[in-house]
Structure formats: structure tokens, C-alpha cells
Structure 1
Amino acid sequence: MSTKEQSTKWESQLRKGTLDLVVLAALKGRTLYGLELLQFLHQFATTRITEGTLYPLLDRLKREGLVDAQWVQEGETRPRKYYSLTKTGATQLTAVSERWQQAVSDINYLLANPGPNATNREGEQSE
């Protein structure tokens, strides 16, 4: 497998592992209809997903009680399904965000302190 193929595979796995967090974070403090949410996510290089990925994810998050969905009729256009966080979703977002921040901190530490002479987090030298 080439380096580019390996990198693409890693990016895909990272995206899959963070999609729930990404969608919950995107809905924090706002209500969006599906296509609007998709367009919002496309603003960020690491969160560009397809409709075929987004809608099943939203359906699952709704079944899990993390998001709410409401059909809204807007004038003569067809109705749109708007998504928002539930209280449970907001709580989950907070908990997962804390774990995410810790993971980023840990990974950044490891990247900045390579090799056998790296110090551990408490400042002691590793053996």
C-alpha cells in the first residue's frame, strides 16, 4: 500500500471515529436542516461528508435521543426536517468534548516529545 493510500485510510478512520462529535458540535446552539448542516460541515476540510453518510448518522443520533428532528413547512416549498441537540445530546457533547480535548493534548505531547529521552507528563525522564 502506498503512503498516499495509507494516509487516506487513516483520514477515513479518523473521520469515522469523530463524526458523532462533529455533528453534535455543529448543532450546538443552532437548528439546521439536513442540507444546511451538510453545507456547514463542508466548510471544514476534515468534516466533508456525503449525504449518504450524514442522513443515516442523523437518524441514528435521533434514535439514541441525542438529536431531535422536526418537519417544518416553509411557504410553498416542500417541508424540511430541522435537527437540534436534545438535553441528552448536549450532555453527551460535553462529555465527549472533554475526552477529545484530552486525546488531542496527549497526542500533541507524544508528537512533541519523541524518542527514548522524552520526559513523561510529570517531567521525569523516561527510561
Structure 2
Amino acid sequence: MKIQVSTELLDGCVLALLAEKDYYGYAITQRIQQTIPISESTLYPVLRRLHKESWLETYDESFKGRNRRYYRLTKAGTKQLGVIRNDWESYKHNIDWLLKGDNHG
């Protein structure tokens, strides 16, 4: 079954991943694809938008003669991750309530 992932949820996944450690773009895609079926073409616009929102910052490091662009969570990004996590808990609770059938009455 495929459930479409909202923009906000994908933002939260990227921010949560970067709360663990810094990653370069392809590695972020690989990690998220372990859980959610997304393409690189989906993820890079998300990274650009999160950077524009000042939730991420970037830096380059050399790797085998090429530069890799790494992404790091900012303080504003950490705060936004907290907002998304709170929203997710409420949303998840409400969906569980509906899907588990505990709503009789």
C-alpha cells in the first residue's frame, strides 16, 4: 500500500535525519528511501526550500577530488522539527483513533 507523504511530513523526516548528524544530499535520499519511497528529484527541491527557510545550512567538503554539499540543521530548523513532531503526534493519535475503530460512541 502506498500512502502519499505530505510536504510537512517529508520536511520533518529530513530535519529529523539531520538532527542525528550532517549528511550530503544523496545520502539523505538513501536514508529516507529506506522508509519512504521517494526519488532524488523529489528530495533536492525539499532541501533547497528548507535551506531557503533557514532551517538548514550547507557546507562543501572534498571527496575523491569532487565537492560534496553537506546539510546541517540550524537552531531554527531544530525549533521547526519540534513543531513538526508535536503536530505529527497529534495527527497520528487522531488517525489511530479513526483507523482502530475506537471512535464508536
Tell me whether the two structures share a fold, i.e. TM-score over 0.5.
Answer: yes
Q: Which residue of 2 aligns with 1:68?
A: 57
Q: Which residue of 2 aligns with 1:50?
A: 39
Secondary structure in 2 aligned to 1:73? strand
Q: Aligned-pair distance for 1:29? A: 2.2
Q: Alpha carbon RMSD of aligned pairs, Å?
A: 1.8
Aligned-residue identity in percent = 32
Structure 1 residue 36 and structure 2 residue 46: aligned?
no
User: TM-score of the superposition, structure 1-length normalised?
Assistant: 0.74
Point out which structure has higher relative CO (alpha carbons under 8 A, 6+ apart). 2
Q: Which amino acid aligns with 1:58?
A: L
User: TM-score of the superposition, structure 2-length normalised?
Assistant: 0.88
Q: How many residues align?
A: 105
Indicate conservation of the 8 Å contact 2:9/2:84, yes or no: no
Q: Which amino acid aligns with 1:94?
A: G
Q: Which residue of 2 aligns with 1:24?
A: 15
- Give unpaired runs (5+ residues) of structure 1: 1-6, 120-127
- Once the two structures are superposed, the pairs formed by residues 82-121 of structure 1 within 5 Å of their partners are 82-113=70-101, 118-119=104-105
- Give unpaired runs (5+ residues) of structure 2: none
Secondary structure in 2 aligned to 1:57? helix
Query: What CA distance in whole angstroms lies between the structure 2 residues aligned with 1:21 and 1:31?
Result: 15
Q: Aligned-pair distance for 1:33? A: 0.5
Q: Would you tell me which structure has more strand in proportion to its own residues?
A: 2
Secondary structure in 1 aligned to 2:58? strand
Q: Which amino acid aligns with 1:101?
A: E
Indicate conservation of the 8 Å contact 2:8/2:84, yes or no: no
Q: Which residue of 2 aligns with 1:78?
A: 66
Q: Aligned-pair distance for 1:15? A: 4.2
Q: Aligned-pair distance for 1:30? A: 0.6
Q: Aligned-pair distance for 1:67? A: 0.7
